Each structure stands twice: as structure tokens, then as C-alpha cells.
Structure 1
Amino acid sequence: MLAKLNDNWGVLTPWRTVNELQKGFWGLLDELGDSVNRRLVSYPRITLDENEDSTVAKFVLPGYKAAEIDVSVVGDFLTVKAERQCEELSDNERYLHRERACGRFEETVKLPSRVKAAEVSAKYADGILTVTLPRQEEEKPMTIKINQ
């Protein structure tokens, strides 16, 4: 009540200054939360498995089409790029809550060994991108039997 009555005092109103600081603080927290959520949502979850012959990378990419995903291997780095277009809302619509990220992402993973780039294969099914990366011969682990 006091703040409303004193609202006509002008720039020197102490309650106005406190109110503006509070609005700025909450706005800053909202922006920080949005950027953290955007960062967490826009990057895929990754699993790297390894066996004797190859490394298998699995990326969780629900809602993408295979044509929107690019996979490349250079040396011992695997790069996955994808882009999802944002849905356009009409003038009378607005989001109440949105966790589905849109836009472009690029994720590069350092592989544990060099791979045969010509033999790399990728499969996309049920929102999971599976990239099989055959290991180069000299990179395969070798078991050496000890003679007595």
C-alpha cells in the first residue's frame, strides 16, 4: 500500500528502486534458467561402447529425420551435426511450456583409437543413431602368449 501511494513521488522513491532491483534479479534468473535448459536439451545423450573390432557410438536423437543428420569421421574424431526447424506458431498461439529444442547442434567425440573411415556405417532407427566404427588393424589389442 505504501509503495502504491508513494509511486507518484518520482525517481527518488525507495520502493521503486527495490521493485526494479527485484524485477531485474528475477529476470536474470529466468534468462539463466532458459540458457541452462537450452544447453541441456539441445545436445544429445551419447553412449560409446567398445569391443575387439570396433567402437560403437549411440546418439539419442528423437524427432529427427535421417536426412537432417550429418555424420563425419576425421582421424580419431567423430562429429554428428543435426538441425531441427522451430515450429511456427500463429499470432493467437503461444507456448505454455517447451522442452523440445530446435535449431542446430554439433557434437564431436574423441574416439579411443583410429578407425577405418571407409568402413564406418550409421543406422538411424527409433530415435537412436548408431554409428559403428571399425578399428584399424594396428590399433586392435593384441594378446601375447608367454612361453616358458
Structure 2
Amino acid sequence: MASMVPYRSVFGLRPFNTSLLDAFDDMMDLASAPASRAFPMDVEDKGDGYEVKAYLAGVNKDEIDVELNEGRLSISVNVEDKEENEGKNYLQREFSAFSATRGIYLKDASNEGLSARFADGVLTVSVPKIAEKKNVTKVSID
């Protein structure tokens, strides 16, 4: 079982004189470190457009950036730690500043009519599809 004694090292690992279970806990912590933090996304084809939902609990609306560039929808989050940490003695602290970007390519996405709303930690982006163009032209023969 991992101990609740605070520790510090260059890579966030405990000294080597701890138990094998503590070392395993450290490896699992590294796998979910803030540098690799991402957010889950759902993409649904609604027929005439797409609905993309990004689950962003604990993120404020002004920390989100949504962009559509040539069919690639990018959702970026940049969270800054604004809390004053002076004089606090954390035994464990998992919240920190982070940034993450997720993207998806939607080949027939239209820039016209794009909309987004953010409520209860869920960002919902509605992306309309490009209206299908019929490039067939009948040519009369002289």
C-alpha cells in the first residue's frame, strides 16, 4: 500500500528503498501525469452534421478554444493554476495547470453555421456538413 508521506525527487519517484507496491503506484502515477492529460470526446454523425461532445469537468469557458480548419476540428484547453500555494502543506496534490488539445478530421465539415455551447462541464460543438454539390452539367451537342 502506498504511504501518504510527502516525497520529492527529480522524476516524481520515491527513493529506491520503498516497497515494490510503492514503485508500481509511482509508475501508474506517471502514466496519468498532467503532461499526458487529455479529455474524452464523443463524435456523432447526425446526418446533416456532426455533434462533438468534449467532457471538460473543472474547466472554465474562457479556457477553451475551438477551431475548424479545412475539416480538422481542434478543441484546446489551457488551464492555469491561479491558487496561491504559499504556506500550504499538501500530502497529495493532483490538480495543476495543464493544456491539452484533441482533434478530429471531418472531411465534409462546413465552416458556415458552426456553433458551440458549454454547460455543466460538457462542450457541445455542432458542425454542419457541406451541402452536397452536383457537379454534373449537361452539355448539348451542336
Q: After TM superposition, is the score higher than 0.5?
A: yes
Match of 2:59 in 1: 64
From 112, 117, 139, give the equivalent of 1:118. Answer: 112
From 87, 90, 106, give the equivalent of 2:86. Answer: 90
The change in CA–CA distance for 1:94 and 1:107 in structure 2 (over 3 A counts) is: farther
Aligned identity (percent) is: 24
> How far 1:106 moved relative to its partner?
1.2
Higher radius of gyration, 1 or 2: 1
| Structure 2 portions without partners, runs of 5+ | 1-14, 134-142
> How far 1:131 moved relative to its partner?
0.3
Do the aligned partners of 1:42 and 1:102 also contact (CA within 8 Å) in 2?
Answer: no
Name whichever structure is richer in helix by fraction. 1
> How far 1:83 moved relative to its partner?
1.1
Do the aligned partners of 2:116 and 2:124 also contact (CA within 8 Å) in 1?
Answer: yes
How far apart are the structure 1 equivalents of 2:26 and 2:89? 18
Indicate the SS of the match to 1:34: helix
How far apart are the structure 2 equivalents of 1:60 and 1:40? 18
> How far 1:88 moved relative to its partner?
3.3
Indicate the SS of the match to 1:35: helix
- The amino acid of 2:116's aligned partner reads A
Indicate the SS of the match to 1:64: coil
